[in-house]
Structure 1
Amino acid sequence: MTYFKSSILGLFAFLLPLSILAQEANYGNQHLFDDFTYRQGNVYRTASGKPGPEYWQNAANYNLEVALDEKNHMVSGNVTIHYTNNSPETLDFIWIYLEQNRFTENSRGTLTTSVLGSRYSGDVEGGFELSNISAKTETGTSSKHIITDTRMQLFLDKPLAAKGGNATITMNFKFKVPVEGMDRMGRLETEVGTVYAIAQWYPRVAVFDDVVGWNTEPYLGAGEFYCEYGTFDVKITAAADQTVVCSGILQNPKEVLTKTQQERFAEAAKSDKTVYIIKPDEVGKPTSQAKANGTLTWHFKMENTRDVAWASSKSFIWDAARMNLGEGKTGMAQSVYPKESDGTHAWTRSTEYTKASVEFYSNTYYPYPYHNAINVAASVGGMEYPGVSFCHYQSIGEDLWGVTDHEFGHNWFPMIVGSNERRYPWMDEGFNTFINHYSTIAFNNNEYPSSTDQPRSLVRYLTFENREGIDTSPEVANARNLGYTAYFKPAAGLFMLREYILGPERFDTAFKSYIRNWAYKHPQPNDFFNHMENVAGEDLSYFWKGWFFGNGNIDMGIASVEPYQGNYLITVENNGQIPMPVELQVIYTDDTTENVRLPVEIWQRGNSWTHLLKTTKEVQRVVMDPNKMLADVNMLNDTWNKL
């Protein structure tokens, strides 16, 4: 223990400026740095943000056989689900999602959509027709079930055994394909024929996890999806003049493609340039059909995926090119689109965009696991599924690049990293918007601009009286705020974390580790927070709490710059609710510069801090955040100039 006489302490205090003394005595900001959630690890999810030694998740494999009735716009068929209960508890029932039931007049989604409409408005003359429902286990078969809106509770004859119990669920289903499918699916009429974009199209199991048990939130609209992983075997029967594309790999090309198309497909698989499979002048002609009339059954298979989607039309131009996915692996970028979308400034570049996007993410973050990446021109503004994206058929140029890049970026979040979109849209939309920035600046020598590196462009929203936080449920968020709460604000947060707080090397190491550890698993927000902190070696509670929860803002400024014993005292202030490290650029009268970085911990003691700048030069100007990396809501106090 060190002992100081009071007289010495008094003299020491007298010699120090009061501002410096004050910053040693005030601990009023500590609450901003405290842990904000219960983040202790367990056997399922560790404190280091990894899956624990006893982590588990259930699995579902699907066999789907359906037929498309173009005359009546109907899809009908059957599904067999092989479900495995890997959890440590028995299950008395299994919850099934019936998302087509959203398209009925009395669905919860319809009844909670404004009468003025929104992006998530949809047809109301649809819904599933189900029959022959059964669940078979080792002990018997049950057909008892309750349907509530977009969910079915399917009871078992006896509880399904823990740690490996199996059930086989079967049923027949049919539904009318909506014209307006809430901007996720639907029908588009073109000159040659209808484009069908088919998603949320089969009964599928809900996720049972270690956090909330059964995830049974109703499908209302804005909230997206949370799915188990498995193998999908899909057979789609359609008229012989239809071209069908689907998630996964086509298993029977010799049965559904002409010999010429097969040859072109083989050529495209070796080409970095786009190759036509069906040329524009061949669309709708008998020569583009493998069979003159009747029907064809297209067979697809996809492994380790959480979903599949498909599209069909006789109006499709079809082209493709090789994707170079790293480590010697290749795949196929493909596009299908009607002649209304054709053109060198439009969908003729779609495969080029798709190829560049998927290659960038595969080589930068995590290897692309699927063989195909198919872009479909449809009435949908932009929606993602594993290996398939629906983008608007009228998109061109920068807009087409942006939507294509965004939707295929979703293959990493949430298709590979399987977060819960319905609860935490920022974990897929925000993460994806963030990585879109880097793919955009890398594409074709920065052909198209990105604004993600300008967090201050968010200031108007951040100071908007009716703004909402990132943690706002997508179903609750105001429609005009959802783009900010789910996309732009979380993306800006990750940008600041990478470029300003941690630096690219530390951030990238942690971010890639997060992807690698949670690939094909179900991370929660705390898993992300914990893993980023553990790998980067930084307590970021102040940042998670301030930026991702609530409506606080960043507002730091320069209070004064004063000469002091041949040096300078620079006093900075924090007028916002989110503390951040401080970066200052000092410009001297001889036009030389010096950068000063102060750690975030200066704000633990209070909202003012004085830094001693040791220099023999005369200071002309001091600028806070000289590269404008922070979403600071007040730029007026960022600069000090010598009078």
Structure 2
Amino acid sequence: NVHAEGAVRNRPTEVTGGMELKRVVANGTELTEARQGAIGGGYLSFGTVAQVRLPQGLQSGDSAVLEIDFGFNIPQEGIGGRMGWNDDNFFYLAYWYPQMAVFDDVVGWQTDQFLGQAEFYMGYGSYDVTLDLPEGWVAWGTGTLPNPSAVLAAPIVERMRRAERSDTVVHLITPADFGPGKATAPTSTGRLSWRFVADSVRDVAYSVSRESLWDAARTPVGDRNGDGTADYAMVNSIWRESAPRWQHAWRYAQHAIDFLSRWTGFPYPYPHMTSVEGGGIMGGGMEYPMMTLIGDYNQASDTGLYGVHAHELAHMWVPMIVGNDERRYAWMDEGTTSFNTSAAMNEFYPGQRWELGNYSGYIQITRTDLEGEIMRLSDYQYNGAAYGTASYSKPATLLWTLRGLLGEEVFLKAYRTFIQRWAYKHPKPWDLFNTFNDVSGQNLDWFWRTWYYETWTLDQSIANVKLERGGTRIVVTDLGLAPMPVRLTLTLTDGNTMQAEIPVDRWLEGARTADIVVKTPSAVTKVEIDADQWFPDANRDNNVWERR
């Protein structure tokens, strides 16, 4: 209903009339629309939320059956580019049906309005959906086609079977397959029923096209069932000739799913991952279970197209597997996903530190008055830049910071434990915090409080370096409010380096200056704070001392 006239929104969008509830039946009883504030049965809509009042109360452990007839006009470009259509040959259908609100153990029914910016919070379910399409139109969607031979032409099915066993691209549909009776199965009625079945997913989305190319291959996802053999998923790349950069997109998806399965320690659980080019609808990308809609990227770069693939596909882990509340805490999936994206890019494009892009994005806003706290509800950030920083770049940077703080082994163990513990569940921020505290064996509450509930910045400065008998005294001043340990790299006259550290406890005790004496075998020529750039220091100009 965000597309309805008069709907409250925090970003502009096309007005199409929204969703019309034509008939609502609960446990066999047809309900009538109730007036706002009325007592009794029926159903009523307010904004993007509808309330169904059951004829009889529902006790714990009981179930209810709802039947809803509804209508929805597809906007040409849905809010945020999340759905739509382009020309007369391509449709992308998402967020198009009445979705069940989540009832969780923290807030009960989560009924926050959808305003257009912060995204969704959905439970897990099973879906059995049939699309009725004209012949010549091909559909892709969340779930599997139980009988592809019923809708696809025999040559296309044969190519599909080859792609399921191929590590290199198979072109399932080419321009020669466009048109009725070519890519689709024979039909006497001129129409075909495309049935998709999916289990344990939080949503479904579909794309239909009559002039899209289809590239596919398999990708390894690890050992799903512990039988000692590798498992695979199919990656599909759906694109039009107007988006030539997409000719390599299958490879981007193949690597991203493979890498993320290894990186998260959680094998990709779904049978396929389908990337759909949606130029004219979407500029960036948007995620759905097993599906993503991405812009044509004609004016961007190959690294940009890989990066958006890695980002959207990383969403298959959060929020698709780990089902956080995107409406309130967008950072839990966007920050995690941005972190995962940088890690994937570091492997696909080695030799660069892609995480520094998030770092610089966060640092830039610290020099303004626009930054909002990460824990501020996502729809109530000051503006788009504040939302982007609090949801994407800052939480991604903080995960890299944690990686440096805890060390690779401990960090990955905690990170992967969080995903394992909360797969197909609904964690809140405190569940993430608790998991890291638990697995690391450390009380990191100072870290969570400082970085997630405040906009304090880190600014550690070398105030003085002095040679003393038997060592070098280094004085560090804390010019910011965010505490972090001080990690020092000392360069000696012979070129060798030494490491030293001032624990974070020094700052937690209220000190603003701390010093340390390091036993050095020779004179020191350079001292640098956080030489490896793990920590988000807002001013690195004062992090280095050099002997003149």
Match of 1:148 in 2: 46
**Structure 1 CA distance, aligned partners of 2:305 and 2:366?**
28
Match of 2:197 in 1: 301
SS at match of 2:55: strand
Match of 1:107 in 2: 7
**Structure 2 CA distance, aligned partners of 1:476 and 1:129?**
28
**Structure 2 CA distance, aligned partners of 1:267 and 1:617?**
66
Q: Is the 8 A contact 2:374 2:452 kept in 1?
A: yes
**Structure 2 CA distance, aligned partners of 1:461 and 1:556?**
18
- Provide Cα deviations, 1:324-368, integer angstroms capped at 9, x if missing partner: 111222111001122212x3xx11111111111111111221111
- Provide Cα deviations, 1:351-405, integer angstroms capped at 9, x if missing partner: 1111111111112211111101001111223100000000012455122111111
Are 1:392 and 2:295 an aligned pair? yes
Are 1:529 and 2:429 an aligned pair? no
**Structure 1 CA distance, aligned partners of 2:357 and 2:49?**
41
Match of 2:56 in 1: 158
Moved more, 347-356 or 460-469: 460-469
Would the alpha carbon gap of residues 233 and 165 (structure 1) be closer, same or farther in structure 2, given more than 3 Å must change? same
Q: TM-score, normalised by structure 2?
A: 0.92
One-letter identity of the residue aligned with 1:338: R
One-letter identity of the residue aligned with 1:469: E
Q: Is the 8 A contact 1:141 1:157 kept in 2?
A: no
**Structure 1 CA distance, aligned partners of 2:211 and 2:535?**
48
SS at match of 2:251: helix
Alignment RMSD, CA only?
1.8
Are 1:326 and 2:226 an aligned pair? no
Would the alpha carbon gap of residues 448 and 233 (structure 1) be closer, same or farther in structure 2, given more than 3 Å must change? farther
One-letter identity of the residue aligned with 1:297: S
One-letter identity of the residue aligned with 2:26: A
Given candidates 256, 277, 286, the residue that maps to 1:383 is: 286
Are 1:370 and 2:274 an aligned pair? no
How many positions carry a matched residue from both structures? 524
**Structure 1 CA distance, aligned partners of 2:220 and 2:356?**
27
SS at match of 1:597: strand
- Provide Cα deviations, 1:418-460, integer angstroms capped at 9, x if missing partner: 00000000000000000111111112x5398724477355322
Match of 1:573 in 2: 477
**Structure 2 CA distance, aligned partners of 1:620 and 1:607?**
25
Are 1:210 and 2:100 an aligned pair? no
**Structure 2 CA distance, aligned partners of 1:622 and 1:291?**
74
**Structure 2 CA distance, aligned partners of 1:519 and 1:490?**
20
**Structure 2 CA distance, aligned partners of 1:363 and 1:238?**
38
Match of 2:39 in 1: none
Match of 2:399 in 1: 494
**1:472: how far off?**
2.9
Are 1:273 and 2:164 an aligned pair? no
Q: How does 1:440-519 map to 2 (within 5 A)?
A: 440-443=345-348, 446=350, 450-452=354-356, 455-456=359-360, 458-477=362-381, 478-498=383-403, 500-519=404-423
SS at match of 1:296: strand
**1:216: how far off?**
0.3
SS at match of 1:102: coil
SS at match of 1:458: helix
Match of 1:66 in 2: none
**Structure 2 CA distance, aligned partners of 1:518 and 1:452?**
28
Q: Is the 8 A contact 1:323 1:359 kept in 2?
A: yes
Instruction: Point out the structure with max Rg over C-alpha.
Output: 1
**1:285: how far off?**
5.5
Match of 2:83 in 1: 186
**Structure 1 CA distance, aligned partners of 2:401 and 2:97?**
40
**1:149: how far off?**
1.4
One-letter identity of the residue aligned with 2:268: Y
**Structure 1 CA distance, aligned partners of 2:269 and 2:81?**
23
Given candidates 233, 240, 255, the residue that maps to 2:135 is: 240
Are 1:633 and 2:530 an aligned pair? no
**1:566: how far off?**
3.2
- Provide Cα deviations, 1:9-66, integer angstroms capped at 9, x if missing partner: xxxxxxxxxxxxxxxxxxxxxxxxxxxxxxxxxxxxxxxxxxxxxxxxxxxxxxxxxx
SS at match of 1:134: strand
**Structure 2 CA distance, aligned partners of 1:447 and 1:570?**
33
SS at match of 1:160: coil
Q: Is the 8 A contact 1:205 1:227 kept in 2?
A: yes
Would the alpha carbon gap of residues 452 and 301 (structure 1) be closer, same or farther in structure 2, given more than 3 Å must change? farther
Would the alpha carbon gap of residues 568 and 446 (structure 1) be closer, same or farther in structure 2, given more than 3 Å must change? closer
One-letter identity of the residue aligned with 1:149: G
Moved more, 395-404 or 223-232: 395-404
**Structure 2 CA distance, aligned partners of 1:505 and 1:549?**
27
- Provide Cα deviations, 1:83-130, integer angstroms capped at 9, x if missing partner: xxxxxxxxxxxxxxxxxx111121112xxx4xxxxxx42211231122
- Provide Cα deviations, 1:281-302, integer angstroms capped at 9, x if missing partner: 3223542232366211101111
Structure 2 unaligned residues grouped into runs of 5+: 33-41, 224-229
Q: Is the 8 A contact 2:136 2:182 kept in 1?
A: no
**Structure 1 CA distance, aligned partners of 2:467 and 2:53?**
78
Q: Is the 8 A contact 1:141 1:156 kept in 2?
A: no
Q: How does 1:25-44 map to 2 (within 5 A)?
A: none
One-letter identity of the residue aligned with 1:102: V
Structure 1 unaligned residues grouped into runs of 5+: 1-100, 114-119
Q: Is the 8 A contact 1:146 1:152 kept in 2?
A: yes
SS at match of 2:438: helix
One-letter identity of the residue aligned with 2:468: Y
**Structure 2 CA distance, aligned partners of 1:243 and 1:261?**
11
Match of 1:82 in 2: none
Match of 1:195 in 2: 90
SS at match of 1:430: helix
Match of 2:497 in 1: 593
**Structure 2 CA distance, aligned partners of 1:154 and 1:368?**
36
**Structure 1 CA distance, aligned partners of 2:205 and 2:522?**
66
**Structure 2 CA distance, aligned partners of 1:449 and 1:198?**
36
- Provide Cα deviations, 1:459-481, integer angstroms capped at 9, x if missing partner: 22212122222223332220122
**Structure 2 CA distance, aligned partners of 1:145 and 1:459?**
48
SS at match of 1:108: coil
**Structure 2 CA distance, aligned partners of 1:551 and 1:598?**
23
Match of 2:242 in 1: 340
Match of 1:415 in 2: 320
SS at match of 1:632: coil
**Structure 2 CA distance, aligned partners of 1:486 and 1:131?**
37
One-letter identity of the residue aligned with 1:239: P
